[in-house]
Amino acid sequence: MNTRIRQVSLFTSLATIVAVALGATAFAQGPGTWKLNLAKSNYHQGQAPKSTTLMYEPAAQGIKVTVDSVPADGAPIHYAYEANYDGKDNPVVGNPNADMAARTRVNETTTKLVNKKGGKTLSNVTFVTSSDGKTLTITTAGTDAQGQNIDSVAVYDKQ
């Protein structure tokens, strides 16, 4: 009888650990839809988009990212890509400032992204999800494909 109780207790403990680990992984990825909050964001003059929506979905061992953005000037931009959190380059089609993206998880709430175009690193991006999971802050340091500085802090609200 005691052996059976220990087995059930061990199973319950392991199930709890797995559930917590999976929850932390999903939370770190920030799955769902996020909308740019321009009032809380900081861009160089003239560089703020009119709007941006991000959608994150779990994919294999990583994430699928879909971006819809309306720049201050020009046509709307739509692109999507999938990436694991292994720091390896993944192809991106449709992003004017990157043809490769490499993601690395720092901890439960922070992810790093390196954007490259033509083999050259253009920007380094840090994603930080708030402890309550309602805010995503994206800090970008680097340049765009035209060589303009794009250092910014963009704040997104979970929808």
- Give all domains of the chain, ordered by start, each with its CATH number: 2-158 (2.40.128.20)
Q: Which helix (H) or strand (E) holds 81?
A: strand 77-84
pLDDT digits (tens, 9 = 90+) for 28-62: 546 899 999 999 999 988 889 999 999 999 998 89
**3 state DSSP class of 105:** strand
Distance CA 40, CA 135 (A): 11
Q: What are phi and psi of 6, to 5 degrees?
A: -65, -40
Q: Between 47 and 26, name the one with better pLDDT.
A: 47
Which residue, among 121, 103, 123, has the nearest Cα to 30 in the 3D structure?
A: 103
pLDDT digits (tens, 9 = 90+) for 125-158: 999 999 999 999 999 999 999 999 999 999 999 9
Answering whether pTM is above 0.85, one says: no
User: Which pLDDT score is estimated for 13?
Assistant: 37
